[in-house]
Amino acid sequence: MSFEPSPDGRPRIAAGAVALVALAVLAVHGAWLTQYGWFRDELYYLSCAKRLAWGYVDQPPLSIALLALVRAVAGESLAAFRVVAALGGASVAVLAALIARELGGRRFAQVLAAAAAGFAPMSLAVAHFYSMNVLDQAFWAAGTLLGLRAIARGTPRDWLALGAVLGLGLLNKWSVLWLGAGLGASLLLSPRRRALATPWPWLGAALAGAIFAPNLLWQVRHGWPTLEFMHNASAHKMRAIEPAVFFASQILVLGPGAAPVWIAGLAASLAPKRVRWRPVAVVWLVTAAILLVNGRARAEYLALAVTALFAAGAVWWEQRSRAARVAVASLAAVFAVALLPFAIPCLPPARFVAYQRALVLAPPAEEHQAMGPLPQHYADMFGWPELADSVARVAATLTPEERARAIVVVGNYGEAGALEHFGAGRIPAIACQHNNWFYWPPRRWDGDTAILLGRDSAEVASEFREVRVSGMADHPLAMPYERGLPIVVAHGFKGDLAKAWARGKHFE
């Protein structure tokens, strides 16, 4: 394969080698595609996909619309949903290679960038299940690639393409605003800032705004629920994190073996002689500053800006000696294999717990909640069918008339999604006031009969005339707050239904 420069001066894409890396990413996902089970958020997203809208309390609509399309084609197939997520992960690897090429990288740099980005523990974990987050990674990588081109060349097509990608990215997740801020700062710090005197950057921004506008209009109509969600999550759900811990956590979520790649990319992008690379570093620095001001960010939020650093570092290492290139690639590969069980459920639960204990690598909790034997991203894949079965058994004890008029009250969207999917046809209507389920109340309830999940019977007795504990939902591997949940049957609600529903709204 030829690696002579292309007509525009950039190295040719190492198509075959990069494709092999992308296929390897897909193969790793495919080998353990449904090893555990449905993730909590997947069940919620499925519920959202049945109720399409221009927005949701905790996310814009793009990822949900895509999921609805997949559902229309493949049904409610966990494997199909996760294949789409895996394709998103593979696309991040390809985009990392393209960024390396944009920075002058040839075959080695493109392959190293693709492998480092595609096999980073965070990338593998995010791409293992369907969510907006895997699409977010892809939009960040695509936006950075197009931003580099727009700032360097500034053709009308570059600016409009960048605007379209940023607009679609915002329609997927608002974190793309950080990317936009970083690219804007990069342009202002670049000799190319004179492009601001032309209409094209502004037209690109206008295009992004036009694409994003339907979600903003939805927010206005609903009283900006996403801002309420973000405030509550930051104030009540997320733990405060020290800057030193926050930056150290980047090493773990991105893989210790790959640290020499992205750290070299950060340093090289700040070098005076590499003005062309500068946006790669500026985007990372701006994102880090925004997250540090917040003080309660997850480690993976900053990792979104590292795909481009992988690319820049890969180009820097390509310019070193052969021995150095072999060493850095080998180190990255060894750690990627060692950390694979933390990103992909390739081990049975008991063996994973033993492996985690042996390596002393239990991840720090980022939320205010107790942890079980498994980290949360694995624990949230257990117990959902059993939960639905437990509630269905209690529902079966009601008379046909009671079942027809009853509701099942649950505390969070994971439980609601699980009952809707696994309990279809076996349980009464679901009532949940958590996030977007708050906007989907049961059409009518006469207040006579309810099944309440996870509520203390004494507390329920203050709201209903008659209460009895009729069952329990449990799974040994689920998150602690999903274990040992009493299932209470109650009759005769004593309060005002409308006021009770409004009072129970829970956006977090």
Following DSSP, what letter does each residue of 150-209 receive, concatenated? HHHT--HHHHHHHHHHHHHHHTT-TTHHHHHHHHHHHHHHSGGGGGGGSSHHHHHHHHHH
Residue 375 domain-assigned? no
pLDDT at 3 over 60: no
Residue 204 domain-assigned? yes
One domain for residues 141 and 253: yes
Q: Using the 8-state DSSP alphabet, how is residue 464 labeled?
A: E
Residue with the bigger pLDDT between 27 and 5: it is 27
How do beta strands 407-410 and 449-453 pair?
parallel
CA distances from 220 to 225, 275, 441 (A): 9, 41, 21
Total structural domains within the chain: 2
| Span of 229-233, 251-255, 339-343, 363-367 with lowest mean pLDDT | 363-367
One domain for residues 396 and 347: no
Residue 244: exposed, middle, or buried by beta-carbon count in 10 A (0-12, 13-18, 19+)?
A: exposed
How far apart (Å, rounded) are the C-alpha atoms in residues 338 and 331? Answer: 11
One domain for residues 405 and 332: no
pLDDT at 294: 79
One domain for residues 392 and 335: no
Percentage with pLDDT > 90 across the chain: 88
Residue 389 domain-assigned? yes
pLDDT at 4: 37
One domain for residues 171 and 68: yes
pLDDT at 298: 76
How would you write 129-156 as a 3-class SS string? CCCHHHHHHHHHHHHHHHHHHHHHCCCH
Nearest one of 420, 440, 318 to 51, comparing CA atoms: 440
Residue 345 domain-assigned? yes
Q: Two tokens at 188?
A: 């202002």
Mean pLDDT confidence for 120-140: 97
pLDDT tens for each residue of 380-433:
999 999 999 999 999 999 999 999 999 999 999 999 999 999 999 999 999 999
One domain for residues 191 and 338: yes
How do beta strands 429-432 and 407-410 pair?
parallel
Which pLDDT band holds residue 2 (cuts at 50, 70, 90)?
Answer: very low
Residue 356 domain-assigned? no
One domain for residues 347 and 436: no
Per the document, the length of the chain is: 508
Amino acid found at 373: P
Mean pLDDT of the chain: 93
One domain for residues 164 and 288: yes
pLDDT at 235: 75
Residue 298 domain-assigned? yes
pLDDT at 7: 44
Q: Are 377 and 253 in contact (CB under 8 A)?
A: no
Q: Are 358 and 350 in contact (CB under 8 A)?
A: no
Which pLDDT band holds residue 364 (cuts at 50, 70, 90)?
Answer: low
Amino acid found at 267: A
Amino acid found at 17: A
One domain for residues 323 and 424: no
Residue 359 domain-assigned? no
Give how far the C-alpha of residue 384 lies from the chain's centroid of Cα atoms, to the nearest Å. Answer: 20
pLDDT at 25 over 90: yes
pLDDT at 367 over 60: no
Residue 491 belongs to domain spanning: 384-503
pLDDT tens for each residue of 33-55:
999 999 999 999 999 999 999 99
Mean pLDDT confidence for 325-332: 97
